[in-house]
Chains A and B, each alone.
Chain A
Amino acid sequence: MTYHWEEEKLGAAYDAAIMRRLLTYVKPYTKLFILCFGLIVVITLCELTLPYLTKIAIDQYIRPGQLGGLYLLAAIFVGILVIRLIASFAQVYLLQLSGQKIMRDMRTQIFDHLMRLPTKFFDKNPVGRLVTRATNDVAAINEMYASVLVYLFKDVFLVLGIFIIMLQLNWQLGLLILVLAPIIAYATWEFRKRARDAYRDFRRKLAKLNAYMQESLSGMRIIQLFAQEERSYKTFQSINQEEYEANMRQLMVFAIYQPIIHMMSAIAVALIIWYGGGGVIQGFFTLGSLVAFLNYVEMLFAPIRDLAEKYNILQGAMASAERIFMLLDEKPEDRGKGRILPSVQGRIEFRDVWFAYEDEDWVLRGVSFTVEPGERVAIVGPTGSGKTTIISLLTRLYDIQKGQILLDGVDIRELDVQFLRSQMAVVLQDVFLFSGDVLGNITLQSDKIARERAIEAARFVQASSFIEQLPNGYDAEVKERGATLSVGQRQLLAFARAVAFDPKILILDEATANIDSQTESLIQESLRKILRGRTSITIAHRLSTIRESDKIIVLHKGVVVEQGTHEELLARKGLYHALYTLQFAETEAVKAE
C-alpha cells in the first residue's frame, strides 16, 4: 500500500515526457514485452472464438438436431480453453517477470544514486521520504506496467475484435451497437474529468490529515504539557470529516458512472433482442447469431467498466514517477579531481579554513593548524565550538568555503574522494551499527578485509572478550542500530572497525556518555594501543587522552584560541587551564562517589 502524506503535485494523468522516460526502462526487455503482446493476441483470439463456437453449435447442430457434430465442437471448445490456459499463464508470468526486472533496475539505480549524493542532501531530506521513493513509489510504477499498460492493449484489441466479428455477422446490427459508442465516449470523458478532480481533492485532504496526525504525534508532549488535548482532537475531527466528505464525493462519481455504463449495456441488449429478434422472424438472422451477439456485448462492456480503476492506477504511477525522477536528477557529490598519491605520509594541514553549514553562519573561522605524521593531536573546547565539524571536513563530507585543507601538501579537493577517505578511519561518538552480524559491522562488508584480519583487529582493541561471549560470537546477530549492545561495547566495535581498515590517519570523537567502569578501562587501554605510532586527531574529553597527546588545540566558537602541549597550555592560565581544572574537579567528584 502506498502512503504519500506529503502534498502531492498531481499533474495530468499522462505526461508525455514522464511516459517516455518510463519507457526507457522497458527497452532492455522489449523482447519479453513483444512476446507478451503476442500471447495476449492469442488469448484474445481464444476469447473471441468461444461465443462464435456457441453460435455454430446452435445454428448447425442443435437446431437441426444433429448430435454428432456436437461432440467435435465440444472437443474444439475444450481445446481452445486449454490453449487459453497455457497462454494466460505464460503471459502473466512473462509480464510479471519483466515487471519485476524493471522494478529491480529502478531500485538499483535509485539506491546507487542515493549512495553518491552529497551529505547536505541527507541533512535536508527525511529518511522516510527517501525510503518511500525506493520502495513504494517503484511499486506504484510496477502496478502500472503490470495492471494497466498491457491490459489496456488487450482491451483495445478485444473491443476491436468484437466489433469486427459483430459487423461480419450482421453489419446493420453491428452498426446500431456502434452508435452507442459516442454516447459511451462522452460519458467516459465527463467521468474522467470529475474522477480526476475528485481524486485530487481526496488525496490532498488525505495528505493534510496525515500531516496533521504526524505532527501531533511528534509534538504530543507539547500538546499535553499545555493541556490542549481536547482542542487538538477537535481539529483532527474536522480534518477527518473533510477527508471523509472528499472520499464520499469520489465514491459518488463512481456510483453514478457505473450504473450509466450499465444502462448502456442494457440498451445494447435491448437493441439486439429487438432488431436481432426481428431479423430471425424475417429470416435474415439466425438464432445462433443472436445468442452470439448477446455474448459478445457482455464481453464488450467489461473492459469499459474497468477503465475507471485503470485510470486511478495510472495517475498514481505518474505521480510516483515524477518524484523518482526528481530524485534521480539530484546532482551527486563532487568526487574531486581524481588524483591519487603513490604513498601517503599522513601530514594534515588546515590553512585559514572558514566553514558554514548555511549561508554565512560561520562554524569555523580562520582555523589553522598542522598535524605531522605520527603526531597525536587532541582538540578540546566547549560544546558548539566546531570540533565535530572538523571531522566532517577532513573526509570531505562537506566542502569548505574559504581556505584549504591539505594532505601531504595536496589540497584534498584535488584528490579522488574515495582515495582520500580510505586513508582515514573515523570513530564517532554515536557509533552507527548496521543490522547483520558483528563481523559485518567490523568489515562493513568490504571484500578487502578477510575474516581473520577482522578478528585480529577485534583482539587488538580488546573487543574480542565481549564478542566471544555473545551467542555465535563474531556471527552474532546485531539488531537494528545495535540496540542490544552497551555504549562501551559499541565504542570497542567501532575501534575494531577502524583498526581493521588500517588507515594512515585515525580520527576519533570521544564519547561523553557514561560508560561502565569495566568497559571504560578497556577502552582507555585500547585507545593507547591504537593511537601508538599512528597519526591521529582526537576530539578529546578524557583527561588521560588529553594529557598524553603531542599537541593540544583549543577551539572556541570556531576559532583556534590556544595551541601547544599540556604543560605549555596549563602554564598560560587561559581557557585551557580553566577547562582542565573544571574537568579535574568533576572527575574527582565522580571518584568520590
Chain B
Amino acid sequence: MRGILHYLWLYRARIFLGLVALFIVDGAQLVVPLIIRAAIDELAQTGTAQLVLYAGYILGIAAVVAVFRFFWRYFIFGTSRMIRRDLRDRLYAHLVKLSPNFFANTKTGDLMAHATNDVEAVQFACGLGVLALADAIIMVSFSLAAMLSINWQLVLYAFTPLPLVTVFVVVVGRMIHRRFMAVQEAFSLLTEKVREAISGVRVIKSFAQEMGFSKDFGRTNEFFIEKNLSLVRVQGFFEPMIALLAGLSSAIVLLVGGQKVISGAISLGDFVAFTSYLGMLTWPMMALGFVINLMQRGAASMERIEKILRTEPEITDAPDAQPFPQEASLECRRLTFSYPQTNGRPVLRDVSFSLEEGQKLGIVGLTGSGKSTLVHLLLRVFDPPEETLFIGGVDVRKIRLSELRRAIALVPQDPFLFSTTIRENIAFGRPTASEEEIIEAARIAGIYDEILEFPNGLDTVVGERGVSLSGGQKQRVAMARALLLNPKILIFDDALSAVDAEKEEEILRNLREFMKLKTAIVIAHRISAVKDSDLILVFDQGRIVERGRHDELLALDGIYARLYELQQAEEAVKL
C-alpha cells in the first residue's frame, strides 16, 4: 500500500486538481435535486413557476458538470496512466542493471507478467480506485447532509436496512474473495495443464496417449467451471440483494415520506429530492466491495514490483574501479569456480595459464568441460574469485565494467540477433560506426556477399518479422558485430560451428590480418580453427589436461591427438 501512496504523493498536485474537479462535479450534481424540488414545490403550491429559469439552472449546472467531468477524468485517470508509464520505466531501468544470474533464475514470462499485469493493477488502483473511493466518500457525505437537512427522522427510517447491508457486505464480501482466489488458482492450473501438454506433445504423440491427456484436461476443465459457478452463486446474489435492500429503503421512504407529505411535515418537493439523494447512495454502497478489491490487488502488485526493484545487481563496479589496462595480456592463476546455486560443484578447477598481448589462445575440449565459463568470467558475466583472473596485471574485478566490455568482444556460441536491420545488428556495440566500417566488418566475417543478395541489403530486417537467417549466417553477423568494436581482446566461442570447412578457412584467412595485434581466444570443436594458436589448452571436466602448441600436443599422443585423428577421419568421408 505504501508504494502506491508514494506514487500518489508524487503526483499530488494533479490528483488534488482532479479531486477538486470531482468535488465540484459531485456538488453540482447534488444541487440538481434541490432545483427540481424548488420547481415541484412551486408547482404544487402556487400552480405556476418560473420554469424557464429552472430549466436554465439545470442546463447551466450540466455545463459546469460536463467541463469539470472532463477535468477529473484528465487529472485522475491521466495521472494513473502517467504512473503506469513511470513504473514501467523504473522497472526497465532497474532490470537492465541486474546480473545474468538473476535472469537465469527468473522466467522471462514472469518478468513480462510483472511489467504488464502488475503495472496495470497498480494503474487501476491509482486511477479507478482513487476515483471510486473519493466519489463514494463525497457522494455519501453530501447526500447524507442533504437528506438530514430535509428531515432527520426520515433518514433514520430510510437507513433501517443499513446494518443489514453492512453485515451482508462484510460477510458475503469475504466469501466472494475466497471463491475468487479459488477461481484464480483453478485458472492457473488450467493454464499449466495446457502449457505442459503442448511442451510435451512429442512424448504424448510418441506413446499415442492423446486421449488420456484429453480426458485429464476435461477433468481440469470441469473443475474450473465448478469453481466459477461457486463464485457466481454468491456474486450473482450479491448485487441484486444490495439492490433489494436499497429498494426496501425506497419503499420505506415512499410510505413514511408519503405520510409526512400528507401530514405536511415535508413538502412534495422535499419528498422527491429525498428519493433522488437516496438513489445516489446505492452506487457507493455497491462499489465498496469493488473498490476494496481493486486497492488490494493494486497493493499486492506493487509489492511484487518493488521486490524486483529492491533486488541488488550482483555484478557492479568496484569503488576503486580502474580503466582498462594498456596492455591486453591475460593471466589466470589457480582459478577454481562453481556457479552459484549448484551445490559447489566446480566447473573450472585449478586453471592456470598466461598469454601475452597479441598472442592467440586456443581452447578445445568436450561439451561441458568449462570452456565457455572461462570466457564468461573474463567478461564478468559472473565474477571470478578475487585474484584469479588478470588482464594486463589488473584483477578483472577491479576494471570498470563499461570499459571492460568495450575492450573485449565476444562472438557467442548461440548468436542472439535483434529483430531489426542487419546494419543495426552489426553496429549494435558501436552505433556511431561509419558505413565503410560496417561493410568492412561484414566482409571479414564472410557475410558481406550474402548480405548484398538480400532484398534490402544491409537494411534487410531479420528475426520474427523479417528474414530468417540460417545458423551459419547468424553466427557471421554476430562475428561482424564483434569485429566492429575493434576490441583489444577478441573471443570466439565455438563461433564457426555452423559454418562449413571451406567458409571457415576463408574467414580465418580474413581474420589473420585483422587480428595481428590483438589478443584472441578461440574456443572450438574443430582443431582446424585452433591449429595456429600460440598456446592450446585442452579442457576436460574443468581441468586443463594437456597444453602446448599443435605439434607438441600431437606428440603427446593423448586426447588432443585422438581428437585430431577423428576429425581427419571425418574429413576423409567424402560426400
Contacts and interface: CB of A to CB of B under 8 A. Distances in A.
Interface of A: 1, 3, 5, 50, 54, 57-58, 61-63, 65-67, 70-71, 73-74, 77-78, 81-82, 84-85, 88-89, 92-93, 96-97, 100-101, 103-104, 107-108, 111-112, 114-116, 119, 122, 127-128, 130-131, 134-135, 209-211, 213-229, 231-233, 236-237, 240-241, 243-244, 247-248, 251-252, 254-256, 258-260, 262-263, 265-267, 269-271, 273-274, 277-278, 280-281, 287, 290-291, 294, 365, 382, 392, 395, 397, 417-418, 421-422, 424-426, 428, 432, 434-435, 444-447, 480, 497, 501, 512-514, 556-557, 559, 561, 574-575, 577-579, 581-582, 585-586, 589-590, 593
Interface residues of B, number: 142
Contact of B225 (A100, A365, A421, A589): A100
B73 A225 contact: no
Contacts of B134: none
Given A93-B236, A444-B207, A445-B216, A281 B228 contact: no
Interface in B55-109: 55-56, 58-59, 61-63, 65-67, 69-70, 73-74, 77-78, 81-82, 84-85, 88-89, 92-93, 95-97, 100, 103, 108-109
Contacts of B405: 224-227
Contact of B59 (A92, A270, A434, A435): A270
B213 to A, nearest CB: 7
Contacts of A480: 192, 196
Contact of A267 (B59, B92, B197): B59
B120 interface: yes
A290 B187 CA distance: 51
Given A58-B268, A128-B109, A277 B54 contact: yes
B262 A67 contact: yes
A590 B369 CA distance: 12
CB-CB nearest 8 A-B residue pairs: A266-B62, A259-B66, A92-B236, A88-B240, A578-B569, A226-B429, A81-B247, A270-B55
B164 to A, nearest CB: 14
A276 B262 CA distance: 23
A575 B251 contact: no
A74 B253 CA distance: 9
B199 A127 contact: yes
Interface of B: 32, 36, 39-40, 43-44, 47-49, 51-52, 54-56, 58-59, 61-63, 65-67, 69-70, 73-74, 77-78, 81-82, 84-85, 88-89, 92-93, 95-97, 100, 103, 108-109, 111-112, 115-117, 120, 187, 190-192, 194-210, 212-218, 221-222, 224-225, 228-229, 232-233, 236-237, 239-241, 243-244, 247-248, 250-252, 254-255, 258-259, 261-262, 268, 271-272, 275, 366-368, 379, 381, 401-402, 405-406, 409-410, 412, 416, 418-419, 428-429, 431, 481, 485, 540-541, 545, 558-559, 562-563, 565-566, 568-570, 572-573, 575
29 contacts: A54-B254, A58-B268, A100-B225, A101-B225, A108-B217, A108-B218, A111-B194, A115-B197, A130-B198, A210-B115, A222-B428, A224-B381, A226-B405, A227-B406, A240-B85, A251-B74, A259-B65, A263-B63, A277-B39, A287-B268, A397-B202, A397-B205, A421-B207, A432-B199, A501-B207, A557-B575, A581-B562, A589-B540, A593-B541
Contact of A578 (B271, B428, B565): B565
B58 to A, nearest CB: 5
A589 B559 contact: yes
Given A77-B250, A81-B243, A228-B428, 17 more contacts: A96-B228, A107-B190, A114-B194, A135-B194, A210-B112, A213-B92, A217-B103, A218-B108, A224-B381, A224-B405, A259-B65, A260-B66, A266-B65, A434-B196, A445-B216, A578-B570, A582-B563
A586 B366 contact: yes
A243 B224 CA distance: 35
B89 A225 contact: no
A391 B431 CA distance: 46
